[in-house]
């Protein structure tokens, strides 16, 4: 669950960088990268650093995959353990009934 929480935080940070307006030099407000026109204004030619967003994506994606895999494996393991306990219970109950 911890990996999934960290991955969700990284995804949220990436969405924030893509969806929130930013300023280039503190004076000119630029539209968000997802919502701006195809040809940006002269002041907004310098987008946010792409390596920061690519790094977030590179960290969030494996964490999401590993976290989801561990969660599924744990859930399946817990379900199988519960099923095994039920099978053992019914086998012992049937064995007691047959001996009577």
Please write the tens of the pLDDT for every residue from 61-94. 999 999 999 999 999 999 999 999 999 999 988 8
Instruction: Give helix then strand counts, H and E, for the chain.
Output: 2, 2
Q: What residues does 23 pair with on adjacent strands?
A: 29
> Does residue 21 register a pLDDT over 70?
yes
Q: Is the dihedral of CA 65, 68, 73, 74 positive or negative?
A: positive
**Phi, psi at 25, each rounded to 5°:** -120, 15
Comparing 13-17, 79-83, 94-98, the range with the smallest average pLDDT is 94-98
Domain that holds residue 25: 2-99
Positions of E strands within the chain: 22-23, 29-30
State the helix-helix crossing angle for 2-19 and 50-99, rounded to 10 degrees.
Answer: 150
pTM of the entire predicted model: 0.66
Number of domains in the chain: 1
pLDDT for position 41: 66
């Amino acid at each position: 669950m911890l990996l999934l929480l960290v991955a969700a935080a990284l995804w949220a940070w990436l969405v924030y960088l893509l969806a929130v307006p930013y300023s280039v030099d503190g004076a000119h407000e630029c539209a968000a990268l997802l919502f701006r026109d195809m040809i940006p204004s002269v002041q907004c030619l310098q987008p946010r650093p792409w390596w920061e967003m690519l790094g977030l994506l590179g960290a969030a994606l494996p964490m999401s995959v590993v976290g989801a895999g561990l969660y599924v494996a744990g859930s399946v393991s817990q379900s199988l353990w519960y099923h095994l306990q039920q099978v053992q219970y019914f086998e012992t109950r049937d064995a007691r009934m047959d001996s009577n």
